[in-house]
Amino acid sequence: MKKTILELKDIVKSFPGVLALNRLKFDLKSGEVHAICGENGAGKSTLMKVVCGVYKPDEGEIYVDGVPQSFSSPLDAYRNGVSIIFQETSLFEEMTVLDNIFLGHEIIKKKAGLKLLDYAAMRKKATEIFDRLNTKIDLNACIKTLGMAQKQMVEIAKALTFDANIIIFDEPTASLTQREVDALFDIINKLKQEGRGIVYISHRLEEIFQICDRVTVIRDGQYISTRNVADTNKDELVADMVGRAMTNYYPKAQTDIGEEIFRVEHYYDDGFLKDINFYVRKGEIVGFAGLAGCGRTELMQSICGFTGKAAGKVFLNGEEIEIHNYNDAKNRGIVYVSEDRGKYGLIVDMSIEQNITLPQLQNFANNMSIIDTEKEAEIAGKYLKEFEIKAPDTEFLVANLSGGNQQKVSVSKALALNPTLLILDEPTRGVDVNAKAEIHKIISELTRRNLSIIMISSELPELLGMCDRIYVMKDGSIAGCFDRGEFTQEKILSIALD
């Protein structure tokens, strides 16, 4: 009988304005690989960060080997046999492999009353572990000289030096080649045979069927189901992941799509973006799908003039235009709403009205450049009301708003510029379910006003629900395009993953 080595009960974790985990449960047995899957933003990574002490849960218990635990930091978790291998590796680029593996728990020897690092012992232990993993890595190599797969090996070795009984892999294959993935799976199988428990976080369903024993699906921070991989199939998991109520979230308005207003031809930059062609019509919502790093954001930012040089033709209303910086784009009515609200989208320590007017301050000032704050409050008040932004007044700090309301401010800021083409980059990232529906409603309404919208999203259901057309990007080029009515999740995924 396999025993339960990790159990999570009723885990609740909220961030300002967002309930990330809502009474989640999970259990892991020794010698099994248990997958956690769910869409982007479902709470997979947050859950594991709670387990290994990066975040403190608001409520709920964590049991390791039947004993309640609460780790204060990942190192604390490591020492108690729980290791996590993060999506982006947490290694120190400038240090050697050996130093990284033993960082924070170096082997010490005592000599003449001094505590010194025992490199010989560390080297011996590291060599043993890499032998067990059937991997050869130069222990003196600097991390920055290693490839992605090798870095992951170092992380795994680090986990094994703690003799971790529970190893969590957070989307480990995101940046690996097929051959490297196979090697990784060999190692996971080996760890499993040694009786360790593996938590495998991924949204790639094929991998789950390849390597996992059980799979737990979470959605919007809530527990949905746990199934034996042998007894389930892809459709069942997708249904769990997407949920049945999805149609309600996407109140797509019926609009008459007009003539073409924006066209990009043979667009490329030095290196990444390759021969991109697409167009947008009046009143149309055009989606851009693809995996993380496929170049959607880079393309839009390049078109808007944020990033370096690019070549190709860009037409607005049939006329060829040149955009050298964002001001050129903005003045022509092409407005970009960033995916990262806190970093690029908003100045969170400023008020709602100050954020909305920032891109066009000169329009809110007299000819002496003195700002008319009443005029600012007026326009901000208009959006506050129209989009039902939950704030006491327009002087409220954006930092104190929830994610959804911050996003509404971001969109208001763009709309105040009277755009003809609105580019929304992940408009519902980090926003809870209800706010999502509200934002979708707003986007839908905008197309009624003849606005054209480009929408980048990593959530396929969102694109499927909202868009009239979807372009699929892969490795910096456009790999396919589907009209509403012919696109399905499968068709898009098959091109994006390919």
Tell whether residue 176 is a contact of another protein (CB under 8 A).
no
Q: How far is the CB of 409 from another protein (least distance, A)?
A: 12
Judged by CB under 8 A, the stretch of 178-186, 188-196, 268-276, 335-343 that binds another protein is 335-343
Q: Where are the extended beta strands (E) located within 31-123?
A: 33-37, 59-64, 67-69, 82-85, 108-111, 114-117
Q: Give me the 133-152 binding string for another protein, x by CB under 8 A, dash otherwise.
A: --------------------
Contact 360, 335 (CB under 8 A): no
Q: Which stretch binds another protein (CB under 8 A): 161-169, 185-193, 260-268, 347-355?
A: 347-355
| Cα angle, residue 484 at apex, residues 481 and 486 outer, rounded to 5° | 70
Kindly give the pairing relationship between strand 214-219 and strand 33-37. Answer: parallel
Could you tell me the smallest distance in angstroms from the CB atom of residue 343 to another protein? 6
Residues 361-380 that bind another protein (CB under 8 A): 361-362, 364-365, 368-371
Residue 331, both tokens: 């003045």
Q: How far is the CB of 369 from another protein (least distance, A)?
A: 4
CB 48 within 8 A of CB 201: yes
Site string for another protein, 194-233 (x = CB under 8 A): ----------------------------x---x-------
Interface with another protein (CB under 8 A), residue from 75, 142, 176, 350: 350
# chain residues binding another protein, by CB under 8 A: 48
**Cα→Cα distances 454→42, 262, 345, Å:** 24, 11, 17
Q: Contact 256/462 with Cβ under 8 angstroms?
A: no
Distance between CA atoms of 316 and 257, rounded to whole angstroms?
16
Of 393, 486, 490, 498, the one binding another protein (CB under 8 A) is 393
In the list 5, 19, 33, 149, the residue contacting another protein (rule: CB under 8 A) is 19
Residue 413, SS3 per DSSP = helix
- The overall longest dimension of the chain from CA atoms, in Å, is 84
Residue 455: strand pairing partners: 287, 424
User: Judged by CB under 8 A, does residue 17 bind another protein?
Assistant: yes
Residue 402 as a binder of another protein (CB under 8 A): the answer is yes
| Interface with another protein, residue 65, by CB under 8 A | no
Quickly count: other Cβ atoms within 10 Å of residue 172's Cβ.
26
- CA–CA dist 340, 345 (Å, integer): 6
Q: Is the dihedral of CA 372, 374, 378, 384 positive or negative?
A: positive
Per rule CB under 8 A, is residue 343 in the interface with another protein? yes
Asked if residue 346 binds another protein (CB under 8 A), the reply is: yes
Rounded distance, CA 430 to CA 43, Å? 10
Residue matched to tokens 């959530």: 459
Query: What is the 8-class DSSP label of residue 252?
Result: P
CB 352 within 8 A of CB 380: yes
Distance of closest approach, residue 391 Cβ to another protein, in angstroms = 10
The stretch near another protein (CB under 8 A) out of 7-15, 39-47, 172-180, 227-235 is: 7-15
Contact call for residue 245 and another protein (CB under 8 A):
no
Window 414-443: contact mask with another protein (x via CB under 8 A): ------------------x-----------
Residues that bind another protein (CB under 8 A): 10, 12, 14, 16-19, 22-23, 25, 58-59, 222, 226, 306, 325-327, 330, 336, 338, 343-350, 354, 358-359, 361-362, 364-365, 368-371, 390, 392-393, 399-400, 402, 413, 432
